[in-house]
């Protein structure tokens, strides 16, 4: 818990005492310039998404759309069956989040707070799979799902999350569970509570911030995922948003304003989630790095 | 719960040597201890199933496929090491894709790490608006890769893109970026530094862990900023640098979406990234056997590089005693 609270202050906490005022002015100036540079691609995206075809192909480019072509958005959303793709993405994202929370919290509890034979060895093997390139399992896994007849369904996109294959989340929750005071479990056990009760009534409620991090990251991961839908989904009426956008690129390369509007629509949910949960984002990243 | 007064009651808590306790005490294991093991196994079952069914088995299966001529339909014929021989001695595109990927990795990893480190040092200063700057520097990395490839594809557009218009304004002739065999990899490296947010946050956390007494002591000794960077900050940051180096190296070796969306491996195979090449062989040409052999080559290369980095890390990574 304390780790969570400390990390929220990253960037605001002032660890180093910088004596020179000029040095700080320079740092501030650099931050402003780099912020403009980092935002520029997104500004370019927004500006292009609101331009008429005539204006977008003017050279040198103009920055302010004239007129504002708001119709690009409805046009883009109807040119690709966006709401169908949105529904498909929801069919993948929601079960992915639930499955990830289920499998990784259970495993993390067993690895963090229970004592059983070969626990640490199995955990080490799990961690080692983080270094495994995904293509090496992609081909055989595709052949297995294909043999079972699950190609062109969402099963291959969802089931792995129910089996904890994203080991990173097990690691993240294990770190968090280990930091909870052990006296809580001990006291509950002495009072006659069962392990399952300790997990459900004590550990999980105390771990809400960490569970939220896992839910957000796994949800965004599924929303952004492009490679798995590309490999497993064939019918265009089953495309997810990310896969649908990629097909749009191939078909409408000249219609840049529609493409930019579609890309904006894919980005906006992510940005909204990020703004509301920024604190947790930063924490989860820091947790991985510090213990690495 | 009849046994609640037995000494095993404390076993739930973590022991320094859990294994010796479990193996030695099996014969006189209390019901509570047995229940703990049973429930631990139940809890870990999904993850262990995943490890066996979706990691271990596919890896072994992949090794087998790599020694066949399987095309996903029909029968697989055992061809021994033929696929690996073909890769090494008869497939110029294997070497080409390896060269492209190594080139990209060698440039993008140090460049993006240096940029992330630089941003982190800026955010470690006492300046107003730190939270806003941190958010702005981080946002590009949350943009879905499919969307960022679309944005950059448009910015790299030689005729109407952002970059050539900026160059044009200062009188520099138009570049071709991803549409030129020589510029495609540097262009993609440039694109990669847009997404250094997570690395920056990890560096920033590392910077804030450096004990400030060290800087105070250096100030008393009259050290300048450069000395403090080289003799305090960098040595104290080496564990973080090692972590970021490993993560970004493995990620760079697996670049796929950029060539898939932006260049289709071109021009003239100038962006024929290794994983893109594997994807083509497996899912466009249906050469599952050969593609699996390529995947194993990638696995071996990444493993050897990781091993080498770890082996040399004790020479340059400085771990503080008693840390965690």
Give the pLDDT of residue B7: 41
Tokens linked to A26: 């320079």
Task: Report pLDDT digits (tens) over A282-291.
Answer: 777 776 655 4
pLDDT, residue A69, reads 86
Contact A164 B50 (CB under 8 A): yes
The ranges assigned to domains in chain B are 7-47, 84-316
Instruction: Give domain limits for chain A.
Output: 2-69, 80-251
- Give chain B positions within 8 Å (CB) of A27: 122, 125, 127
Residue B308 pLDDT: 93
Q: Provide the CATH topology of domain A80-251.
A: MetI-like fold (1.10.3720)
Q: Which residue of A has its CA nearest to B239?
A: A292
Residues of B whose CB is below 8 A from A160: 50, 54
**Predicted local distance difference test score (pLDDT) of residue B165:** 82
Sign of CA dihedral B303, B306, B308, B314: negative
- Which residues does residue B78 pair with via DSSP β-bridges, in sequence order? B68
User: Comparing A9 with A266, which gets the higher pLDDT?
Assistant: A266
Does position A9 have pLDDT exceeding 70, yes or no?
Answer: no
- The β-bridge partners of B68 are B78
Distance from CA of B90 to the nearest CA of A (A): 22
* pLDDT on residue B15: 45
pLDDT in tens, A119-148: 999 999 999 888 888 889 999 999 999 999
Say if pTM beats, i.e. exceeds, 0.90.
no
CA distances from A256 to A194, B155, B161, B246 (A): 60, 11, 11, 37
The alpha-carbon gap from A202 to the nearest alpha carbon of chain B, in Å, equals: 15
User: Which uninterrupted H or E stretch holds A251?
Assistant: helix A241-251
pLDDT at A167: 92
Instruction: Please name the residue of chain A whose CA is at the shortest distance from the CA of residue B295.
Output: A136
* Smallest CA–CA distance from A7 into chain B, residue: B205
Q: What kind of fold does domain B84-316 have according to CATH? A: MetI-like fold (1.10.3720)
Indicate whether A8 pLDDT > 60.
Answer: no
Maximal C-alpha separation, chain B: 87
* Nearest Cα residue to A1 out of A198, A178, A168: A178
**Per-residue confidence (pLDDT) for residue B2, from 0 to 100:** 37
CA angle B217, B201, B233 (to 5 degrees): 20
- CA A209/CA A224 separation, integer angstroms: 22
What is the token pair recorded at A113?
A: 């707070």
pLDDT by residue, tens only, chain B of 324 residues: 333 333 443 444 444 444 444 454 455 678 888 888 999 999 999 999 999 999 999 999 999 999 998 887 778 889 888 899 998 998 899 999 999 999 999 999 999 999 999 999 999 988 898 989 999 999 999 999 999 999 999 899 888 888 888 888 788 888 888 888 888 999 999 999 999 998 999 999 889 888 888 888 888 888 888 888 888 899 899 989 998 999 899 999 999 999 999 998 889 889 999 999 999 999 999 899 999 999 999 999 999 999 999 888 888 888 765 444
Separation between Cα atoms, residue A274 and residue A219, nearest integer Å: 12
One DSSP character per residue, A33-48 reads HHHHHHHHHHHHHHHH
Q: By CA distance, what is A248's nearest residue in B? A: B150
Q: Select the residue of B54, B133, B207 nearest A137 (Cβ to Cβ).
A: B54
Query: Would you state the pLDDT for residue A288?
Result: 62
8 Å CB contact of B21 and A115:
yes
Tell me the CA end-to-end span of chain B in Å, nearest whole number.
Answer: 36
Given a contact cutoff of 8 angstroms between Cβ atoms, the answer to whether A44 and B162 are in contact is yes
Average pLDDT of span A212-229: 92
State how far residue A212 is from chain B, nearest Cα, in angstroms: 17
Count Cβ atoms within 10 A of the Cβ of residue B321 and give its class: 0-12 exposed, 13-18 middle, 19 or more buried: exposed
A270 → closest Cβ in B35, B61, B144: B144
Q: pLDDT at position B194, please?
A: 95
| CA B125 to centroid of chain Cα atoms | 28
Predicted pLDDT at B26: 52
At A19 the pLDDT is: 54
| Residue reference for tokens 């040597």 | B17
Q: Determine the pLDDT at residue A289.
A: 53
A82-96, A244-258, A278-292: least confidently modelled range: A278-292
ipTM of the complex: 0.84
List the single range of A181-195, A247-261, B4-18, B128-142 with lowest mean pLDDT: B4-18
List the single residue in B12, B22, B288 with the smallest CB-CB distance to A186: B12
């Amino acid at each position: 818990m304390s780790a969570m609270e400390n990390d929220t202050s990253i960037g605001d906490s002032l660890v180093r005492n910088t004596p020179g005022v000029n040095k700080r002015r320079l740092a501030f100036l650099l931050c402003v310039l780099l912020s403009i540079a980092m935002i520029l691609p997104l500004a370019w995206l927004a500006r292009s998404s609101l331009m008429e075809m005539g204006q977008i192909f003017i050279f040198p480019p103009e920055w302010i759309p004239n007129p504002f072509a708001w119709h690009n958005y409805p046009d883009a959303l109807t040119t690709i069956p966006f709401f169908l793709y949105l529904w498909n993405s929801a069919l993948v994202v929601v079960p992915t989040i639930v499955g990830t929370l289920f499998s990784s919290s259970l495993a993390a509890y067993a690895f963090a707070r229970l004592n059983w034979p070969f626990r640490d060895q199995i955990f080490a093997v799990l961690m080692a799979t983080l270094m495994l390139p995904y293509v090496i399992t992609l081909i055989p896994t595709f052949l297995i799902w294909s043999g079972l007849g699950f190609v062109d369904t969402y099963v291959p996109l969802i089931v792995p999350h129910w089996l904890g294959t994203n080991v990173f989340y097990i690691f993240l929750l294990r770190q968090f569970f280990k930091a909870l005071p052990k006296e809580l479990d001990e006291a509950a056990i002495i009072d006659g509570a069962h392990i399952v009760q300790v997990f459900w009534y004590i550990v999980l409620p105390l771990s809400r911030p960490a569970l939220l991090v896992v839910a957000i990251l796994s949800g965004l991961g599924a929303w952004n995922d492009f490679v798995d839908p590309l490999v497993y989904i064939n019918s265009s009426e089953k495309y997810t948003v990310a896969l649908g956008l990629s097909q749009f690129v191939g078909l409408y390369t000249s219609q840049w304003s529609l493409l930019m509007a579609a890309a904006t629509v894919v980005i906006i949910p992510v940005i909204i989630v990020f703004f509301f949960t920024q604190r947790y984002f930063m924490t989860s990243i820091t947790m991985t790095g510090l213990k690495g | 719960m009849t046994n609640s007064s037995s000494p095993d009651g404390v076993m739930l808590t973590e022991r320094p040597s859990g294994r010796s306790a479990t193996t030695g005490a099996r014969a006189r294991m209390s019901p509570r201890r047995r229940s703990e093991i049973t429930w631990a196994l139940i809890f870990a079952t999904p993850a262990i199933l995943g490890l066996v069914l979706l990691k271990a088995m596919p890896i072994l299966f992949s090794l087998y496929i790599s020694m066949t001529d399987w095309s996903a339909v029909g029968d697989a014929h055992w061809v021994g090491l033929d696929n690996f021989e073909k890769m090494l001695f008869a497939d110029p595109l294997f070497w080409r894709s390896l060269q492209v990927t190594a080139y990209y990795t060698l440039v993008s990893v140090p460049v993006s790490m240096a940029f992330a480190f630089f941003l982190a040092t800026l955010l470690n200063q006492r300046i107003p608006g730190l939270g806003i700057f941190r958010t702005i520097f981080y946002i590009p990395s949350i943009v879905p890769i499919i969307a960022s490839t679309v944005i950059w594809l448009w910015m790299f557009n030689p005729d109407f893109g952002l970059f050539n218009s900026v160059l044009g304004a200062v009188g520099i002739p138009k570049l071709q970026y991803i549409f030129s065999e020589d510029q495609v990899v540097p262009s993609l490296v440039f694109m990669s530094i847009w997404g250094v947010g997570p690395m920056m946050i990890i560096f920033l956390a590392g910077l804030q862990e450096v004990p400030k007494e060290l800087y105070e002591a250096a100030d008393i000794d009259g050290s300048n900023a450069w000395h403090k960077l080289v003799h305090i900050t960098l040595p104290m940051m080496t564990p973080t640098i090692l972590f970021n180096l490993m993560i970004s190296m493995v990620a760079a070796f697996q670049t796929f979406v950029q060539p898939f969306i932006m260049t289709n491996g071109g021009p003239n195979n100038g962006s024929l990234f290794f994983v893109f090449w594997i994807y083509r062989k497996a899912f466009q040409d249906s050469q599952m056997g050969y593609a699996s052999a390529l995947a194993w080559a990638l696995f071996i290369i990444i493993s050897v590089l990781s091993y080498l980095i770890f082996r040399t890390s004790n020479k340059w990574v400085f771990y503080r005693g008693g840390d965690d």
